[in-house]
Structure 1
Amino acid sequence: MRRLLAAAAAALSAAALVALPGHASAAPSPVPDFDFSACPAPPAGADPGTWRCEAFVSQGVLTIGERDIPLGEMRLTFSEGEVDGKYAQVFGELRHAPARIKDAFGASMQLKYGGYSDFLSNDERRGELDIYAVLRHPLLPRECTIGTRDAPLHSVVEDDPAVPFEVISQNPTTVKFGVVDTQIAVPRTTGCGPLSPVADHLLGLPSASGKNTFKQVTYVRFKPL
């Protein structure tokens, strides 16, 4: 995420120094409300003045084969800074309301945090996140999932050129960008009981890497800690 911050800082500096005609947005982007209540505190030994919380609000779509599943709003928080002069980060929370799956007899999907994240971007990717999906339906057991906490889906996202990086606000610092994962693999369902074959057939599972896409349009706001 350091590269994201650097890009934001550069864009903000440029905006402060000069306003070029023809470069203004045609209309302001809609900005969601941000919630910092789940921001994790800096760890013991954190370098003072280096830590900030990042609150993400995303709209996502998971495509499995030829099936698009609009995921609606996802919210994520984490903190980052330095400990003994070295970069560190602490995950906060992933919130996602169940999203209805079209043509699946009323079933819905809710994403959960899979226990691993790395938001330090580099030249190859924007970040990494482990997730799994709980499938909800009156006929499905509560433990019916795609992936599990112990064996999650691993998503590695890259910048989406269709949604370029944009500075929305200078105070407080708020940015927008798009990310995409075209290599995510989606396994068979787990814990779905007798309806497992039905759920797998409806969703086209398993679906190998290269046949699926996970896209997000994300707004991020930064808060010093």
Structure 2
Amino acid sequence: MPNTTPDDRRPSLVRRTALALAGAAALTGLVGAYTPSLAHAEPSSTPQYSSDFSDCPALPAGADPARWRCEVHTAAPLLTIGKVDVTLDPIVMTHAEGQMPDGTWGQVWGAMHSTPTTVPGGLTGTAAGERTRQLRLAIKPEYGGSSDFYIGRLSLRFRLSSPLLPHGCTIGASAPVDFQVKRSGPSKWVSQDPPVIEFSAYDDTFTAPAAEHCGPLTGPLNRRLGLPAPSGNLMTYDATYTFRTYDQLPSA
């Protein structure tokens, strides 16, 4: 047999990859009649709050620790984006807020933690997409770079993962999804010591952009997800948060 080098084998690998992608794209074309599931229409129970203050950010120069508090916010969002309805796994966000030396109020972002959530129907929007590992699809919210918790603004990106998608495949890659959340009702104090507050919020006005950087499946994937979607989107969630002033935090 003749010697075979890695370069000699490359065309067959490319052909096999192309065939796998083409097969997935063909399956994606079968979901024209896909109807989003209503299984997630009812809000989930409020998630257990996180009391991990390790992500509290450093305060601005000159800030009084007794006038600043670190908030740890845990939420279980229900997301309708394009054609997809999904209950996201709980996310945990940490930020600081308080009075600046000049008397104005400020905020400092800390961190966000989240995990991928399986999208019902996978890449195809059908039962095949759920049963076949190669066609599974997951969505993971990530911090989009801006927030204002005084007025309820938050930007997020949504990373999409699947064996057939590149790592950078993201909804809101170029410009994040901007949320302006509104309270659904009054806050509820669950505990005074430690302080634990529950509330519900939602946004039904945000615009959902197309997914980007998804390789050969970018077009079929956006058709399957119904993106871009200028209207008809919804994020609603029950949330819990706790806080400590900086003079009560453990010393570093």
TM-score by length of 1: 0.80
Give the Cα–Cα distance (whole angstroms) in 2 for the partners of residues 120 and 32 of structure 1. 20
Out of 133, 142, 145, which is 2:158 matched to? 133
2:59 alignment counterpart: 42
Deviation for aligned residue 1:57: 0.7
Partner secondary structure for residue 194 of structure 1:
helix
Deviation digits for residues 98-156 of structure 1 (CA, Å, limit 9, x no counterpart): 011000131001111111000113xxxxx1011101100011011100002x5111011
The Cα of 1:36 is off from its aligned counterpart by 1.0
Q: Which residue of 2 aligns with 1:146?
A: 171
The equivalent position to 1:155 in structure 2, one of 179, 187, 190, is 179
Which sections of structure 1, spanning at least 5 residues, go unmatched?
Answer: 1-28, 122-126
2:241 partner letter: V
Count of paired positions: 188
Q: Structure 1 residues 31, 144: CA separation in 2 closer, same or farther (over 3 Å shift)? A: closer
| CA–CA distance in structure 2, aligned partners of residues 40 and 214 of structure 1 | 27
Question: How far 1:45 sits from its partner (Å)?
Answer: 1.4
Query: 1:66 Cα deviation (Å)?
Result: 5.0
Question: 1:9 matched to which residue of 2?
Answer: none
Task: Considering fraction of residues, name the structure with more helix.
Answer: 2
Please, which runs of 5 or more residues in structure 2 have no aligned partner? 1-45, 123-128, 130-135, 247-252
Question: Quick check: 1:114 aligned with 2:138?
Answer: no
Q: Is the 8 A contact 1:34 1:57 kept in 2?
A: no
Which protein has the bigger strand share? 1
Aligned-residue RMSD, C-alpha: 1.5
One-letter amino acid of the counterpart of residue 206, structure 1: P
Question: Whole-Å Cα distance in 2 between the matches of residues 207 and 36 of structure 1?
Answer: 37
> In 2, distance between residues paired with 1:217 and 1:30?
8
Q: Which residue of 1 aligns with 2:206?
A: 184
Alignment of 1:180-219 (within 5 A): 180-209=202-231, 211-219=232-240
Deviation at 1:65, TM superposition (A): 4.1
Contact in 1 for aligned 2:47/2:238 (Cα 8 Å): no
TM-score normalised by L of structure 2: 0.71
Matched-pair contact (CA < 8 Å) for 1:63–1:212: yes
User: Percent identity over the alignment?
Assistant: 37
**Aligned position for 1:223:** 244
Q: 2:238 & 2:190 partners in 1: Cα distance?
A: 13
Query: What amino acid is aligned across from residue 129 of structure 1 in structure 2?
Result: L
1:93 and 2:115 are equivalent in the alignment: no
